[in-house]
Amino acid sequence: MKNTVVVGAQWGDEGKAKITDLLAEYADVIIRYQGGCNAGHTVVVNNETYKFHLIPSGVLYKDKFCFIGAGTVIHPETFLKETEDLKKRGVDLSGLKISPLATVTLPYHIDIDGISENTSGKNKIGTTKKGIGPTYSDKTGRYGIKVQDLFDKELLESRLDAILPLKNKILEKVYESKTYSKEEMLNYCEKYAEIFKPYICNEWIDKLSGFLKEDKKILFEGAQGIMLDIDYGTYPYVTSSSPIGGGAATGSGIGPTYIKNVIGVAKAYITRVGEGPFITELTDKTGETIRNIGGEFGTTTGRPRRCGWFDAVLSRYCTLVGGLTEMAITKIDVFNDFEEIKICTAYKDKRDGKIYKDYPTNINLHKYLEPVYETHKGWKTDISGAKSMEDLPQNAKNYLKRLEELIGIPIKIISVGPDREQTIILENPFK
Ligand code: IMP
């Protein structure tokens, strides 16, 4: 059993898609287990760039079973646009399947997300406004519509009868927003049922149990990152799903006993989009340099990402709560021209000098904390062509070794550029 989860080990945008894409070549099944079209996964193949929001990037390989699991939320219009765009580019989508248990993001979820963000002033979360929070709230509040509901008119009508009166009251009285008639929602759902029809996988139980019996190689593709996890992230500045390794089990329908490896993907520095604490954030020229060299602008929203030095305290926390067994470090080439590179090894309370070696989960404390850094010499060499550890300059090797020591688990993949080829794989979990 070699089943492997790829999970973001920071605040998202760590380069998970590239790692997933690389490993997908060796996997039989790829499962996206949480999140929705808030994700923006970029894959570069032969100088061609693909941007995925909902669809597992594994579709770029033929003959793979690519499954969008029950833990995801699916916005029908985004799904349609993404599948159409991929088809136009000649990508074969015959292996793409969606779980009947995934939850549908409806137009009012997008309305509510946008209004909440626009009217919350300094309390806004900085969401992607893709309706993620409102869809997951409805799911856990038991007001959600599942993909399978779209195909059962009797059930759909009874669900809408239960949901719409309250939803419309909230939309009108709280959000002062447009309401939705039952007929309008029925038409919307019927239209998208047709679009989903070729992809819905009603026989998923049979399929997944078959894969497990045949010991097929399963790759779980996480979205966002552990620090955005609804339970373990910097709450409330988080997304509404479970990107942690454990989320792969709940979100896919495959239990934890079938998961062997959990690869945490982290950049050689850290970024975050949206609001929320970020102890190693650099608001100076260095932060700007990292943003420009690293192209740190959101794939989904285009927003400039906040940048900072690598935070080993946060990484150790991610290793614990994310169940990480190994790391993939990406974008180390961004430091090619840097004289010095810093790593945060602890936090210090500015008020009394208290040192924190473990991540404090009360984010109100974070404003009093400053990073304790150690400084490493840069390598001042272009490493974007490195194919093995031997090709890396000693200072780059030292930096990686130190990260490994501080995080406490081995680094098994190093990415030195955006292309598939620009990767040093020390150990492939599927081989
Ligand atoms: P939501 O997921 O749209 O509700 O946004 C909640 C928080 O998660 C915001 O800070 C977003 O910027 C962040 N977020 C959501 N998706 C991603 C992602 O794919 N990469 C990085 N940040 C994300």
Q: Whose CA is nearest to atom 21 of ligand 1?
A: 12
CB 241 within 8 A of CB 34: yes
- Ligand 1 center from residue 114 Cα (angstroms): 14
431 domain-assigned = no
Q: Is the peptide bond before 371 cis (omega within 30 degrees of 0)?
A: no
**pLDDT tens string 378-402:** 999 999 999 999 999 999 999 999 9
Residues 360-374, mean pLDDT to the nearest whole number: 98
Higher per-residue confidence, 51 vs 97: 97
Instruction: Check residue 46 and give its pLDDT.
Output: 80
CB neighbour list of residue 201: distance below 8 Å, 6 or more residues apart: 67, 97, 98, 99, 100, 207
The pLDDT of residue 185: 98
Identify the pLDDT of residue 273: 94
Regarding beta strands 218-221 and 4-8, do their DSSP bridges make them parallel or antiparallel, or are they unpaired?
parallel
Residues 166 and 129 in one domain: yes
25 inside domain: yes
Q: Would residue 149 count as lying in a domain? A: yes
Instruction: Report yes or no on 430 lying in a domain.
Output: no
Instruction: Please indicate, yes or no, whether residues 227 and 345 belong to a single structural domain of this protein.
Output: no
Q: What single-letter DSSP state applies at residue 106?
A: P
Question: Residue 230: its pLDDT value, please?
Answer: 98
Same domain, residue pair 412 and 317: yes
Q: Where are the alpha helices (DSSP H) in 16-173?
A: 16-24, 76-88, 107-119, 132-140, 153-169
pLDDT at position 45 is 82
pLDDT at 302 over 90: no
Query: Could you report the per-residue pLDDT of 8-57, keeping only the tens digit for each?
Result: 999 999 999 999 999 999 999 999 999 999 998 888 888 889 999 999 98
287 phi and psi, to 5 degrees? -60, -40
335 confidence band (pLDDT: 50, 70, 90) = very high
The answer to the question of residue 230 being in a domain is yes
Rounded to an integer, what is the distance from CA 62 to the centroid of its chain?
Answer: 23
pLDDT in tens, 220-268: 999 999 999 999 999 999 999 999 999 999 999 999 999 999 999 999 9
Average pLDDT, the chain: 96
Q: How far is CA 74 from CA 17, 105, 152, 201, 407, in A?
A: 19, 6, 18, 14, 34
How far apart are the CA of 222 and the centre of ligand 1, in A?
13
Residue 34 CB partners (closer than 8 Å, separation 6+): 69, 71, 72, 222, 223, 224, 241, 242, 243, 247, 251
Do 119 and 53 sit in the same domain of this protein? no
Please report which confidence band the pLDDT of residue 169 belongs to, taking 50, 70 and 90 as the band edges.
Answer: very high
CATH number, position 129 = 1.10.300.10
Mean pLDDT value of segment 172-177 = 96
The residue among 310, 328, 330 whose CA lies nearest residue 418 is 330
How far is the CA of 188 from the CAs of 38, 107, 172, 175, 178, in angstroms?
21, 9, 20, 22, 16
Are 304 and 205 members of one domain?
no
Q: Which residues contact 203 (CB under 8 A, 6 or more apart)?
A: none
pLDDT of residue 115: 96
Q: Which residue has the tokens 């062997």?
A: 260
Q: What is the pLDDT of residue 261?
A: 98
> Could you tell me the pLDDT band of residue 116, with boundaries at 50, 70 and 90?
very high
Give the domain range for residue 326. Answer: 266-425
Among the three residues 196, 231, 251, which one is the final residue of a domain in this structure?
196
> Rounded CA gap, 211 and 98, in Å?
16
- Of 239, 263, 287, which residue sits at a domain end? 263
Number of domains in the chain: 3
pLDDT score of 300 more than 80: no
Q: Do 301 and 221 lie in a common domain?
A: no
The predicted model gives 207-231 an average pLDDT of 98
* Residue 39 belongs to some domain of the structure: yes
Ligand 1 geometric centre to CA of 224 (Å): 7
On whether both 343 and 243 belong to a single domain, the answer is no
Looking at residue 299, its pLDDT comes to 79
Atom 1, ligand 1: residue with shortest CA distance: 127
- Which atom of ligand 1 lies at the shortest distance from residue 38's CA? 16
What share of the chain has pLDDT > 90, as a percent? 93
Q: Do 213 and 186 share a domain, yes or no?
A: no
Ligand 1 centre and the CA of 213: distance in Å? 36
- Domain shared by 208 and 287, yes or no: no
Q: Pocket of ligand 1, candidates 32, 38, 53: which has the most ligand atoms within 8 Å of its Cβ, to mutate?
A: 38
211 and 114 in a common domain:
no
- Whether residues 115 and 222 share a domain: the answer is no
Percent with pLDDT over 70 in the chain: 100
Are 426 and 414 contacting, i.e. CB atoms less than 8 angstroms apart?
yes
Arithmetic mean of pLDDT, 353-367: 98
Closest CA to ligand 1's atom 10:
274
The answer on pLDDT for 301 being more than 90 is: no
- Based on the domain organization, do 124 and 250 belong to the same domain? no
- Quote the pLDDT of residue 429: 97
366: exposed, middle or buried (Cβ count in 10 Å: 0-12, 13-18, 19+): middle
Helix (H, G, I), strand (E, B) or coil at 263: strand
Asked which of 196, 220, 254 is the last residue of a domain, the reply is 196
Between CA 80 and CA 195 the distance in angstroms is 7
Residue whose CA is closest, atom 22 of ligand 1? Answer: 12
Amino acid identity at 106: L
On whether the CB atoms of residues 225 and 11 are closer than 8 A, the answer is yes
Looking up residue 46, the CATH number of its domain turns out to be 3.40.440.10
- The helix/strand/coil state of 44 is strand
Q: Which of 404, 353, 398 is nearest to 379 (CA)?
A: 398
Q: Which residues are catalytic?
A: 13, 41
What is the pLDDT, as a whole number, of residue 283?
Answer: 97
With respect to residue 40, please indicate whether it lies within any of the assigned structural domains. yes
The contacts of residue 147 (CB under 8 Å, 6+ apart) are 74, 98, 99, 100, 101, 102, 103, 104, 196, 200
What integer pLDDT is reported at residue 47 of this predicted model?
A: 84
Pocket of ligand 1 (CB under 6 A): 11-13, 38-40, 125-128, 130, 132-133, 223-224, 228, 237, 239-240, 273-274
The confidence score (pLDDT) of residue 140 equals: 98
Please report whether residue 29 resides in a domain.
yes
